[in-house]
Amino acid sequence: MSVCVSRPKLNWRERIYLPAIVGGMAITIKHLKNMLLGRTKVTIQYPEQTLDSEMPEHYRGAPALVRDTDGRVRCVACQLCEFICPPRAIKIVAGEIPPTDRFAKVEKYPAEFDIDMIRCIFCGMCEEVCPEQAIYLRKDYAITGFTREEMVHHKDKLLEIGGVMHGVILKWNEKK
Amino acid sequence: MDYFLITTSLLKILGILFVIILPMVSYTIYAERRVSAFIQDRVGPNRVGPAGLFQPVADIAKLLFKEDFSPRNANTFYYWLAPCLALIPAIVTFAVVPFGSTLFGVPMVIADINVGILFVFAIASLGVYGIVLGGWASNSKYPFLGGVRSSSQMISYELSLGLAVIPIFLVVGQLRLTDVVRYQIDHGWMIAPFLGDWTNPAKWLLAIPMLVSFVVFSVAIFAETNRLPFDLPEAEQELAGGYNTEYSSMKFGLFFLGEYAAMITGSAIVVTLFFGAWHLPIPSWHGGFHWALIDGSGDGWRGILGGLFNIATFFAKVAVLLFVFIWVRWTLPRFRYDQLMRLGWVFFFEIALVNIFITAIILAYYPA
């Protein structure tokens, strides 16, 4: 079935184009003028200006490992995050804590903890699944590197981003 | 052998090419990007140097270092020839444009030949060969369509381009562009011929065909330089870039330079024909009010500064027209192809023809 679209009948002003052209040019020059006078709000100039201060609390940036107030890496290498990670960005090699250590009760620690930031999708499932509150998504978003190797965050880098976590459950301390 | 003529001509050619046209092309591209950004409420290139002013250098470095890729089935000879053919006519046309009065007593026009405007049309039309050859030699359908569109567009608009300027030469009586400029200095700019002689009704009447001429000529220049709203040969959205789709690296760069050089030359021709070229009347009150003429004929520093002032005036006028080119490009949508053809053959061609008769009648009734 064909539909006949009725075309609007143009009057002579519309048909000679020129008034419309002049009107259009007036609009564009107005934008140019406002831009030159600084009246137009444009996007921020990224590397110089950032919105870091206005970032919401729930922002999900680069995942990081944290230490507790005793200086111990909170991760116990249970590998739940490695298991849950949808893009399989996390790789953990567990190590054993020697029996003489103060935290021998913990038994395991991450000897290696790599997060491939090329694969990471910032979903936050590692943070959600972690029973030890050891991994957090921080507000770092500018993760750059020249090689694939540089884009893998190793344990020390993760700890550096993470820092120390205060004031949460410290169940591995000796009972007072 | 006239060594003086040869030396001054060479200096003028080198100066015009390397000091004026090529930097002007670079900065027109920069202006295009910046103005388009401002019109669209963006910022545009602002990273390289203060306010992005060294962006052209970065662009050219990028183009030079890119891989120069040729499609396997391209016709190599014509494929290589096309970018040069696109650039050269645009620059060569500038030879007859009087871009200044005199400097050190040397007239500031490279070749003051008596066929002036005919030379412009003859050479400017060659620009289409670069585009058609590029489109055909690429051996790819989008460039081919672009090239074919370009040639048909050129034919349609070259007619009105040529016819639109005839009224001017009816008035001036000479094809030499310096004579056109001289006439405008003596009798007022062509866009407003009454300026030189307020009381003469013929001049007021002449303003009408001159305005029509100006509109038709500038629209034809837009079509000739493949600028929006007539950029059918390149039409990114329809033809994936048109005739230059298969070009990369500096060969693409040459097409780009050619397009902008053609824009500059086109603006220069419009300025010469309608806006008094390098002439800028300065109001003066020495012995009663009159319009003073600044040119390079004074003694010593006066003459040199006057000559430089004339050159600056000319290129300032060109720059204003280039801005209009850019402004129009970022305002108007592209014409459909049948609209473009209709506009060229049914409207502009006829309007230009009638315009010639009107001018002739006015001139016949009011002989100078």
Q: Is A140 a domain residue?
A: yes
Question: Given a cut of 80, is residue A37 above it in pLDDT?
Answer: yes
Residues of A contacting chain B (CB within 8 angstroms): 21, 24-25, 27-29, 31-32, 35-36, 40, 42-43, 45
- B253, B153 in Cβ contact below 8 A? no
What confidence tens digit (pLDDT) does each residue in B206-216 have? 888 888 888 88
Amino acid identity of residue B284, one-letter, is S
Question: Given a cut of 90, is residue A146 above it in pLDDT?
Answer: yes
Q: How far is B333 from chain A (nearest CA, A)?
A: 10
Q: Is A10 a domain residue?
A: no
Q: Is A156 a domain residue?
A: yes
Which residues span the domain enclosing A155? 53-162
At residue A119, the pLDDT reads: 92
Q: Is A79 a domain residue?
A: yes
The residue of chain A nearest to residue B46, with distances taken between CA atoms, is A45
Q: Between the CA of residue B237 and those of B106, B142, B334, what are the distances in Å?
A: 48, 11, 10
Nearest to A42 among B35, B39, B43 (CB): B43
Confidence band for A173, pLDDT divided at 50, 70 and 90: low
Number of folded domains in chain A? 1
Is 0.90 exceeded by the ipTM? no
Confidence band for A139, pLDDT divided at 50, 70 and 90: confident
Q: Which residues contact B177 (CB under 8 A, 6 or more apart)?
A: B96, B97, B98, B109, B112, B116, B117, B120, B272, B277
Q: Is A5 a domain residue?
A: no
Q: How far is B329 from chain A (nearest CA, A)?
A: 10
Average pLDDT for chain B? 83
At residue B368, the pLDDT reads: 60
Question: Given a cut of 90, is residue A86 above it in pLDDT?
Answer: yes
CATH number of domain containing A137: 3.30.70.3270
- Cβ-Cβ pairs closer than 8 A, A with B, add up to 34
Q: Is A11 a domain residue?
A: no
Q: Is A7 a domain residue?
A: no
Q: Is A20 a domain residue?
A: no
CA dihedral B324, B327, B329, B332 (to 10 degrees): -110
Tell me whether residues B43 and A32 touch, CB distance under 8 A: no
Confidence band for A175, pLDDT divided at 50, 70 and 90: low
Residues of B contacting chain A (CB within 8 angstroms): 35, 38-43, 46, 327-328, 330-332
Where are the alpha helices (H) located in B330-348, listed in sequence order?
Answer: 337-342
At residue B196, the pLDDT reads: 64
Tell me whether residues A43 and B330 touch, CB distance under 8 A: no
Tell me whether residues B327 and A29 touch, CB distance under 8 A: yes
Tell me whether residues A31 and B40 touch, CB distance under 8 A: yes
At residue B141, the pLDDT reads: 83
Q: Which residues contact B211 (CB under 8 A, 6 or more apart)?
A: B191
- B222, B325 in Cβ contact below 8 A? yes
Q: How far is A21 from chain B (nearest CA, A)?
A: 7
Give A-chain residues touching B41 at CB under 8 angstroms.
Answer: 31, 35, 40, 42
Structure tokens at B210: 């001159």
Residues of chain B with pLDDT under 50: none
Tell me whether residues B327 and A25 touch, CB distance under 8 A: yes
Give A-chain residues touching B214 at CB under 8 angstroms.
Answer: none
What confidence tens digit (pLDDT) does each residue in B259-292 have? 888 888 889 889 888 888 788 777 777 766 777 7
Q: How far is A111 from chain B (nearest CA, A)?
A: 44
